[in-house]
Chains A and B, each alone.
Chain A
Amino acid sequence: MSFIEHLQSVPLFSEMTNDELRTLEQSMVIEDYPDGHKIISEEHINDRFYVLLEGEVEITHEKDTERGLQRISTMGPGSLIGLHGLIGHNRPIVSCRANGAVKAAYLPSAAFNLLYQYNTRLPHHFQTIVAKQLAADYRNIVGELREMMLADND
């Protein structure tokens, strides 16, 4: 499967035109990662946004916990990771580690900012993707907390 076909299979990218996908293809870097490789680490600031093309990534949290490593979830092809890195350049709260061989494409925030200067629609589209994912994450956190707080006392 070509890179563009990979992107077209991700629902959030489905509204992009072929021209936009080609621009994106030129801006992103495809890399292979071996089993166990930390693609995103809690120890380092992340400024890359990744599209997982092949393989599986395990999401974990370890830093500043008494409990040690916590496995949070696993993500497969088509998943987007590091979206927050495009917005705020902070140390991530979670780590993402290759579970077996992984192929992923990444867009550095510098390339994203450059796109912003030369092309208005594509970065807008990206920003919308980030916004939708953020809104979903936000509603999930609030929903889970709400459920816990308002749990039936009976």
Chain B
Amino acid sequence: MDMRPASFKEQFPAIAEHCGPAGLNDLLAALQTINVQSAQAVTSDGEYCDSLYLVVEGKLVSQITSDRETIRLGSLKKGDIFSEVNILDPGPSTSTVIATEDSMLLALSHNTFRSLEKPHPVMTGNILRMICSIMVDRCRLADKLLFSKYAYIEGITDSKSTQHRGLIEWGRDILQKLHGHAGTQS
């Protein structure tokens, strides 16, 4: 699928605002289109990933899982981006993202992004800065919540944190915010 610059600007204005006409054309040429079917995973919690994903069509859900349980973090829809940490520094994904309906994504890998640095240093620098800024805001918010509730944790005398419902809700809320979701979701 060839996305036109005007459509990209409309759907992903936070990225497009840093691109001049030539830079945007090269960025669009570098993006890889990925079609995922409903129930198919795009990223898997703990597994290596090196790309940022942009949702062009469809719906997905973000969650973290263990052998026993799943914590749902939030949903993703057209115009959303996810997996920001993996384009900054490829490594283990911090969540599993699964399509809940057939979806179309654009993927930008770390190496592809780096290859745009030479022809478009200002554009890539500003996009990198924008992503870093998103991550700083999320880390700050999480730190704030962690510290503000520290007194609550101190009141817990046993080691089984999962038995404390308030603590679980608080932890889920922070995880949702760390992954860019607004807050507690059902």
Chain A residues in the interface with B (C-beta under 8 A): 61, 64-67, 70, 84, 87-88, 90, 93-94, 116, 120-121, 123-124, 127-128, 130-132, 134-139, 141-143, 145-146, 148-151, 153
Could you tell me if B88 and A132 are in contact, using CB atoms closer than 8 angstroms?
yes
- Nearest neighbor of B66 in chain A, beta-carbon distance: A150
Could you tell me if B132 and A138 are in contact, using CB atoms closer than 8 angstroms?
no
Q: How far is the CA of A145 from the CA of B140 in the complex (A)?
A: 15
Is B42 part of the contact surface with A, judged by Cβ < 8 Å? Answer: no
- Nearest neighbor of A135 in chain B, beta-carbon distance: B89
Q: Taking A134-B88, A134-B135, A135-B91 as contacts, is the C-beta distance between A127 and B151 under 8 angstroms? A: no
Chain B residues in the interface with A (C-beta under 8 A): 64, 66, 68-69, 71, 85, 88-89, 91-92, 94-95, 117, 121-122, 124-125, 128-129, 131-133, 135-140, 142-144, 146-148, 150-151, 154, 160-163, 167-168, 171-172, 174-175, 178-179
Could you tell me if B138 and A87 are in contact, using CB atoms closer than 8 angstroms?
no
Q: How far is the CA of A134 from the CA of B130 in the complex (A)?
A: 13
Q: How far is the CA of A93 from the CA of B175 in the complex (A)?
A: 18
- Nearest neighbor of B142 in chain A, beta-carbon distance: A141
Number of A-B contacts defined by CB within 8 Å: 120
Q: How far is the CA of A132 from the CA of B101 in the complex (A)?
A: 33
Q: Taking A138-B138, A141-B142 as contacts, is the C-beta distance between A124 and B85 under 8 angstroms? A: no
20 A-B pairs in the complex with CB atoms less than 8 angstroms apart: A61-B147, A84-B136, A84-B140, A93-B140, A93-B144, A94-B143, A120-B122, A124-B128, A127-B128, A131-B89, A134-B139, A139-B85, A141-B142, A142-B175, A145-B174, A145-B178, A146-B94, A148-B171, A150-B68, A150-B71
